[in-house]
């Protein structure tokens, strides 16, 4: 390198899907370099731009960055647009200790020592923007983004802000980068009719979507924190849609500084369409230049030190690099696109706003943030990477010599878990956290006690389990924790459920999923886990459980999580249809098939459910003589309407349910065909009765009281004693009975807020008064017969084991430990007393 030169890498996509935005960033950098050199350079040294095309591809970005650093020996790099590209260059930055100036808005949650983040963090854009939209535009949002890190991360924050401010989210969708067609999303928007589309689409997809939205004449406003002047110019809006954006910079800022900047940009490039990411690229070159002027050498350490606290008069006004976190204090502005296709600024912050990269971490923890920074070196024991996505993890695994040894395990563990995109993932080895993804890092700060308590559970003996789930409430948030064990590694995924569990309304049954079903009992969660597997396979599924245990809800949830979810779910209660009508109900009939047949005939439930799911409830009550035609239909996968000849091909998934013991019906009563049983019983899910889910009673009651409030506006709570009585009852009618009891008690309690025992049905109160004995005082009872003794002892002892098991959430090891007996003895007792685990 010549002594009088300092090389700067300019690494943006000049081709590919995001080039529409990045070309402007590259141009802004060149303008800044020209300005700096015109003013004498850096203490006499000229800045030389080394330009490479990142090709809208993280892999190419990586290669180009490597070339710039090794071959061209650049002092620093300015560039990268997508988070994936930024992350792809991290290994090079680390290896050669080079700085990257990242001028694009970022998703937060990262503070890498080799990166200066010169555009907004989420707090600088969204904390004011979202409440403003809720107040001024509408309360329901549909989130639409390109499928990469930034949109997914940012939408988590938007979701929280919308919900905290009383709004709702009607949908969240991601399309691959470069997508051009949005029929599915547009249809969904039409049917759900939200007020606002919040777009985190980037590149060409932005233009395509906005234009299709306009062409369809949809009434929704579009808000975005990534759509700037460049994209709006390409869209050429028709003026009928309201577009809102939020940035630190709009080119409509009316200051002398900005006018001068725009004029010079126009002189060089013939346009004054400048967006925030372009201004930020321009500012980045200046920040680097100012730091180089200030520092004793062009070495990274000196530049980093010189940057802390550095301020600059940017086109947007004064900005300042944070002293600690390598992000920049910036303005916040909301703009609305006007008739001229420009943004009219309709709100702005009165001063620059501090960047908070870890949004959910209080400022007091700032000092700790250095501990969270990824070094890339210390991976053996503490792998802390900022990798929220599987795809990205995948990439890094391939590259990293140590991670590669976990590759198979980690890839396996991610399977079936929505690519891990929404989840916080911790990997535990020998009781130590050895991997945290970015979400987990934030969760650990936000919900330290919850994470701690779950990790502690892993230290108990867990038998042969390789996969299980837990649910925990923490304040007004509910989490589902999915644990998978592979060899000595535990993969622990925390998923924040869309709403606190007891806040779901089953009035919206039609779209219920397993995440909405209330319960955190271990037996219940086992069924949930099986239901999710059932959703992913096509096999006929049999739901077994007593009446009122939720079989129908499970069937709906399986359908709604299966690929058939957009096709019909048809429920048939086999016990409720008169025997003589079952055939016509199921298979349909042709015109004139029998007296009273509808003119033109009628399709049967099989035909109506075609493509979707047919739920055959109370299958055990289907008359035996009709079972053969059902079996035939299932075997042949086609149906012939009664009286007709034409066979209609079927693609129907069957979920059947019964509260009968079908094996017993087959063996002893001859009332069920074994061949039909085996056809239906490909995948079985047993639902536990409520008496084995005592630990769920409180959550179920909260939910039913919440529903009551929604219905009547009256707030009700259970007294401690009432709850205790409910927990003692044996619930022969299961959840349905509980629901009725709570509803009735709510009405009976009149204006009183508190539901007392006297408001409960008599049989429930009576049950709580039955003698519950321990072995010693059983002798004091007036015993009438030997049979009574046996009866009482049996009940007492059964209750004893049952309660112990319930107190330990069905955990055998813990229960055995508490009772001071071996696991084998406990298993034997449970078998003796017919207690299911």
Stretch (H or E) spanning 581: helix 579-587
Answer for which of 114, 185, 549, 722 binds ligand ATP (CB under 6 A) is 549
Calculate the alpha carbon distances from 190 to 211, 219, 477, 509 in Å: 16, 9, 30, 21
What is the per-residue DSSP string for 773-819? --TTGGGGS----HHHHHHHHHHHHHHHHHHHHHHTTT-HHHHHHHH
Answer for which of 548, 601, 604, 689 binds ligand ATP (CB under 6 A) is 548
Which of the 8 DSSP states describes residue 193? -
Q: How far is the C-alpha of 311 from the C-alpha of 40, rounded, in Å?
A: 20
Residue 620 as a binder of ligand ATP (CB under 6 A): the answer is: no
Strands 683-686 and 541-544: parallel
Closest separation in Å from C-beta 365 to ligand ATP: 37
Question: How many residues sit in the footprint of ligand ATP (CB under 6 A)?
Answer: 19
Q: Of 39-47, 108-116, 511-519, 773-781, which segment contacts ligand ATP by CB under 6 A?
A: 511-519
Residue nearest to ligand ATP (CB): 550
Q: Considering the complex, state which of residue 124 and residue 659 has its C-beta at the smaller distance from ligand ATP.
A: 659
Q: Considering the complex, state which of residue 743 and residue 799 has its C-beta at the smaller distance from ligand ATP.
A: 743
Strands 424-429 and 489-496: antiparallel
Site for ligand ATP in 177-206 (CB under 6 A): none
Q: How far is the C-alpha of 220 from the C-alpha of 185, rounded, in Å?
A: 13
Q: Considering the complex, state which of residue 570 and residue 700 has its C-beta at the smaller distance from ligand ATP.
A: 700
Answer for which of 89, 162, 518, 609 binds ligand ATP (CB under 6 A) is 518
Site string for ligand ATP, 691-730 (x = CB under 6 A): ---------x--x---------------------------
| Strand, coil or helix: 259 | helix
Q: Considering the complex, state which of residue 71 and residue 508 has its C-beta at the smaller distance from ligand ATP.
A: 508
HSE of 266 in the Cβ direction (CA atoms, 13 Å)? Answer: 10
Stretch (H or E) spanning 657: strand 653-658
Closest separation in Å from C-beta 547 to ligand ATP: 4
Answer for which of 108, 237, 335, 550 binds ligand ATP (CB under 6 A) is 550
Q: From start to end of 248-358, where are the E strands?
A: 311-314, 317-321, 328-329, 333-337, 343-348
Q: Of 88-96, 100-108, 547-555, 589-597, which segment contacts ligand ATP by CB under 6 A?
A: 547-555
Q: Of 143-151, 283-291, 516-524, 633-641, which segment contacts ligand ATP by CB under 6 A?
A: 516-524
Count CB neighbours of 302 within 10 A. 15
Q: Of 274-282, 548-556, 563-571, 645-653, which segment contacts ligand ATP by CB under 6 A?
A: 548-556
512-538: string of b/e by CB count within 10 Å (b at 16+)?
bbbbbbbbbbbbbbbbbbbbbebbeee
Q: How far is the C-alpha of 284 from the C-alpha of 299, rounded, in Å?
A: 17
* Cβ neighbours of residue 450 closer than 8 Å, sequence gap 6 or more: 472, 474, 479
Q: How far is the C-alpha of 111 from the C-alpha of 366, rounded, in Å?
A: 11
Count CB neighbours of 508 within 10 A. 9
Residue 357 as a binder of ligand ATP (CB under 6 A): the answer is: no
Note whether 768 and 729 are within 8 A (CB): yes
Closest separation in Å from C-beta 390 to ligand ATP: 30
Closest separation in Å from C-beta 583 to ligand ATP: 22
Q: Of 184-192, 344-352, 551-559, 780-788, which segment contacts ligand ATP by CB under 6 A?
A: 551-559
Q: Considering the complex, state which of residue 31 and residue 741 has its C-beta at the smaller distance from ligand ATP.
A: 741
Q: How far is the C-alpha of 204 from the C-alpha of 145, rounded, in Å?
A: 12
Q: Considering the complex, state which of residue 165 and residue 740 has its C-beta at the smaller distance from ligand ATP.
A: 740
Query: Tokens at residue 376, please?
Result: 């890339």
Residue 736 as a binder of ligand ATP (CB under 6 A): the answer is: yes
Closest separation in Å from C-beta 693 to ligand ATP: 9
Closest separation in Å from C-beta 677 to ligand ATP: 18
Q: Of 530-538, 541-549, 564-572, 576-584, which segment contacts ligand ATP by CB under 6 A?
A: 541-549
Site for ligand ATP in 789-818 (CB under 6 A): none
Answer for which of 93, 154, 292, 735 binds ligand ATP (CB under 6 A) is 735
Query: Tokens at residue 453, please?
Result: 């308590």
Closest separation in Å from C-beta 145 to ligand ATP: 32
Answer for which of 532, 551, 564, 759 binds ligand ATP (CB under 6 A) is 551
Calculate the alpha carbon distances from 299 to 117, 290, 292, 293, 820 in Å: 19, 14, 9, 12, 65
Residue 517 as a binder of ligand ATP (CB under 6 A): the answer is: yes
| Strand, coil or helix: 208 | helix
Q: Considering the complex, state which of residue 555 and residue 642 has its C-beta at the smaller distance from ligand ATP.
A: 555
Count CB neighbours of 418 within 10 A. 11
Residue 739 as a binder of ligand ATP (CB under 6 A): the answer is: yes
Q: Considering the complex, state which of residue 103 and residue 550 has its C-beta at the smaller distance from ligand ATP.
A: 550
Closest separation in Å from C-beta 575 to ligand ATP: 9
Residue 107 as a binder of ligand ATP (CB under 6 A): the answer is: no
Site for ligand ATP in 316-355 (CB under 6 A): none
Closest separation in Å from C-beta 630 to ligand ATP: 19
Site for ligand ATP in 638-667 (CB under 6 A): 659
Q: How far is the C-alpha of 174 from the C-alpha of 172, rounded, in Å?
A: 7
What is the per-residue DSSP string for 718-754? E-HHHHHHHHHS--TTHHHHHHHHHHHHHHHTTT-SE
Closest separation in Å from C-beta 697 to ligand ATP: 11
Answer for which of 468, 506, 706, 800 binds ligand ATP (CB under 6 A) is 506
Residue 519 as a binder of ligand ATP (CB under 6 A): the answer is: yes
Q: Considering the complex, state which of residue 485 and residue 551 has its C-beta at the smaller distance from ligand ATP.
A: 551
Stretch (H or E) spanning 83: helix 83-88
Residues lying near ligand ATP in the complex (CB under 6 A) are found at 506, 517-519, 545, 547-553, 617, 659, 700, 703, 735-736, 739
């Amino acid at each position: 390198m010549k002594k009088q030169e300092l090389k700067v890498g300019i690494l943006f996509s000049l081709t590919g899907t995001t080039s529409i935005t990045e070309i402007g960033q590259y141009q802004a950098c060149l303008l800044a370099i020209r300005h700096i050199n015109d003013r004498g350079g850096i203490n006499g040294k000229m800045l030389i731009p080394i330009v490479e095309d990142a090709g809208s591809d993280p892999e190419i970005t990586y290669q180009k960055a490597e070339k710039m650093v090794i071959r061209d020996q650049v002092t620093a790099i300015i560039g990268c647009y997508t988070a994936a590209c930024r992350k792809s260059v991290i290994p090079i930055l680390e290896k050669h200790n080079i700085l990257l100036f990242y001028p694009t808005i970022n998703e937060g949650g990262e503070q890498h020592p080799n990166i200066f983040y010169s555009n907004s963090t989420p707090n600088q854009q969204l904390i004011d923007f979202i409440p403003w939209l809720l107040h001024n535009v509408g309360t329901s949002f549909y989130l639409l983004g390109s499928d990469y890190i930034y949109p997914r991360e940012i939408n988590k924050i938007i979701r929280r802000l919308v919900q905290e401010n009383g709004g709702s989210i009607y949908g969240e969708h991601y399309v691959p980068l470069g997508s051009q067609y949005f029929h599915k999303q547009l249809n969904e928007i039409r049917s759900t009719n939200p007020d606002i589309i919040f777009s985190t689409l980037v590149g060409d997809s932005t233009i395509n979507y906005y234009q299709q939205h306009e062409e369809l004449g949809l009434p929704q406003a579009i808000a975005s924190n990534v759509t700037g002047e460049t994209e709006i110019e390409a869209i050429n809006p028709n003026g009928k849609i309201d577009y809102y954006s939020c940035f630190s910079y709009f080119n409509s800022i009316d200051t002398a500084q900005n006018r001068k900047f725009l004029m010079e940009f126009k002189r060089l490039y013939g346009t004054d369409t400048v967006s925030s990411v372009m201004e930020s690229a321009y500012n980045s070159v200046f920040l680097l230049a100012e730091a180089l002027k200030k520092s004793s050498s062009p070495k990274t350490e000196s530049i980093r030190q010189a940057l802390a606290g550095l301020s600059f008069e940017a086109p947007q006004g004064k900005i300042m690099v944070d002293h600690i976190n390598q992000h920049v204090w910036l303005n916040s502005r909301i703009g609305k696109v006007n008739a001229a296709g420009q943004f009219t600024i309709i709100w702005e912050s009165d001063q620059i706003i501090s960047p908070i990269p870890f949004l959910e971490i209080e400022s007091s923890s700032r000092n700790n943030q250095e501990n969270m920074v990824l070094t890339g070196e210390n991976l053996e024991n503490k792998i802390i990477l900022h990798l929220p996505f599987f795809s990205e993890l995948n990439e890094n695994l391939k590259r990293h010599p140590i991670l590669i040894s976990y590759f198979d395990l980690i890839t396996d563990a991610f399977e079936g878990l929505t690519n891990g995109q929404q989840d916080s993932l911790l990997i535990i080895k020998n009781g130590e956290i050895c991997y945290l993804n970015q979400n987990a890092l934030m969760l650990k700060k936000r919900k330290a006690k919850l994470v701690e308590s779950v990790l502690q559970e892993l230290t108990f003996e867990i038998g042969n389990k390789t996969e299980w789930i837990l649910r925990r409430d923490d304040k007004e948030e509910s989490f589902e924790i999915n644990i998978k064990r592979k060899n000595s590694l535990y993969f622990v995924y925390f998923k924040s459920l869309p709403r606190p569990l007891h806040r779901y309304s089953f009035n919206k049954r039609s779209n219920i999923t397993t995440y909405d079903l209330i319960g955190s009992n271990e037996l219940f969660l086992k069924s949930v886990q099986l239901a999710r597997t059932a959703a992913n396979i096509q096999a006929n599924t049999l739901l077994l459980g007593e009446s009122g245990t939720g079989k129908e809800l499970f069937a709906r949830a399986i359908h709604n999580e299966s690929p058939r979810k957009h096709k019909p779910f048809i429920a048939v209660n086999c016990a409720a249809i008169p025997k003589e009508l079952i055939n016509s109900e199921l298979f349909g009939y042709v015109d004139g098939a029998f007296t009273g047949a509808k003119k033109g005939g009628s399709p049967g439930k099989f035909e109506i459910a075609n493509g979707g799911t047919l739920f055959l409830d109370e299958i055990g009550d289907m008359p035996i003589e009709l079972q053969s035609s059902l079996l035939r239909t299932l075997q042949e996968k086609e149906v012939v309407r009664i009286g007709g000849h034409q066979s209609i091909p079927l693609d129907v998934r069957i979920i059947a349910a019964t509260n009968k013991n079908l094996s017993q019906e087959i063996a002893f009563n001859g009332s069920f065909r074994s061949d039909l049983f085996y056809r239906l019983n490909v995948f079985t899910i047993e639902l536990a009765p409520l008496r084995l889910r005592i630990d769920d009673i409180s959550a179920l009651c909260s939910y039913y009281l919440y529903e009551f409030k929604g219905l009547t506006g009256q707030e009700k709570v259970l007294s401690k004693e009432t709850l205790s009585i409910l927990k003692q009852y044996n619930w022969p009618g299961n959840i349905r009975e509980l629901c009725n009891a709570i509803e009735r008690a709510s009405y009976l309690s009149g204006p009183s807020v508190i539901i007392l025992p006297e408001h409960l049905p008599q049989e429930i109160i009576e049950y709580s008064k039955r003698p519950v004995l321990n072995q010693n005082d059983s002798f004091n009872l007036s015993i009438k017969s030997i049979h009574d003794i046996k009866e009482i002892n049996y009940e007492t002892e059964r209750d004893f084991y049952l309660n112990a098991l319930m107190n330990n959430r069905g955990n055998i090891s813990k229960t055995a430990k508490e009772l001071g007996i071996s696991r084998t003895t406990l298993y034997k007792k449970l078998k003796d007393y017919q207690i299911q685990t």
